[in-house]
Amino acid sequence: MWEGEANAGVWGRSGVSAAMLERVRVLIEVPRGSHLKREWRTTAWGGRLVLEYVSPVPSPFNYGCVVDRRADDGDPADAVVLGPRQPAGSEVLAVVRGVVRFRDAGMDDPKLVCAGAPVSPGERASVERFFRRYAVARGWLNRWQGKAGETTFLAAEWG
């Protein structure tokens, strides 16, 4: 279930939808075209990008996290940034144009879709197609890592 509330920098189901067309600051963890899945980890000295795994398939989008917002699981909110490749570790300002409803190992894990311009029908289809396929691969990885629970693409909403 989507139970989070839009308060104190945490986005749940209603909060993500309410974020449509909001301007957000995204830290790029995985540049478009990269095979390296990195994740931002906060440390006592700030934070750093840590290699999570090497993907056999390059990322078709810039992928990262919203710097000042948390998802229901306590991690930074995930975000896809459409457009040209951005360097790992860079921060970009973009507008939330949609949200992918995703469940990862039984936990709701929405992905904000951000872009500088409105998202075309072709880009929407590409994002949805990617996350349908990604759910299958992520489910395999979760099982290999011993994680239980459903991993699936649920839907996409567009603003």
Tell me the pairing of strands 62-71 and 23-30. Answer: antiparallel
pLDDT tens-digit map of 87-136: 999 999 999 999 999 999 999 999 999 999 999 999 999 999 999 999 99
CATH code at 138?
3.90.80.10
Residue listed under structure tokens 């229901």? 72
Residue 15 has pLDDT above 50, yes or no: yes
- How many domains, the chain? 1
Question: For residue 134, what are its two tokens?
Answer: 């990604």
State the Cα–Cα distance between residues 79 and 99, nearest whole angstrom. Answer: 9
14 C-beta neighbours (distance < 10 Å), count: 13
Examine residue 4 and state whether it is found in any structural domain, yes or no: no
Examine residue 151 and state whether it is found in any structural domain, yes or no: yes
Contact 83, 115 (CB under 8 A): yes
pLDDT tens-digit map of 38-69: 887 776 767 778 888 788 788 999 999 998 88
Tell me the pairing of strands 36-43 and 46-54. Answer: antiparallel
- Segment 82-88 shows an average pLDDT of 96
Examine residue 5 and state whether it is found in any structural domain, yes or no: no
pLDDT of residue 16: 58
Strands (E), the chain: 10-11, 23-30, 36-43, 46-54, 62-71, 76-81, 91-104, 107-108, 111-115, 152-158
Residues in the chain: 159
Examine residue 52 and state whether it is found in any structural domain, yes or no: yes
For the entire predicted model, the pTM comes to 0.84
Give the residue with greater pLDDT, 70 vs 80: 80
pLDDT of residue 53: 75
State the Cα–Cα distance between residues 102 and 83, nearest whole angstrom. Answer: 22
Q: Which domain holds residue 94?
A: 10-158
Examine residue 150 and state whether it is found in any structural domain, yes or no: yes
pLDDT of residue 99: 95
Residue 5 has pLDDT above 60, yes or no: no
Question: For residue 127, what are its two tokens?
Answer: 């994002």
pLDDT of residue 7: 33
Examine residue 3 and state whether it is found in any structural domain, yes or no: no
Examine residue 1 and state whether it is found in any structural domain, yes or no: no
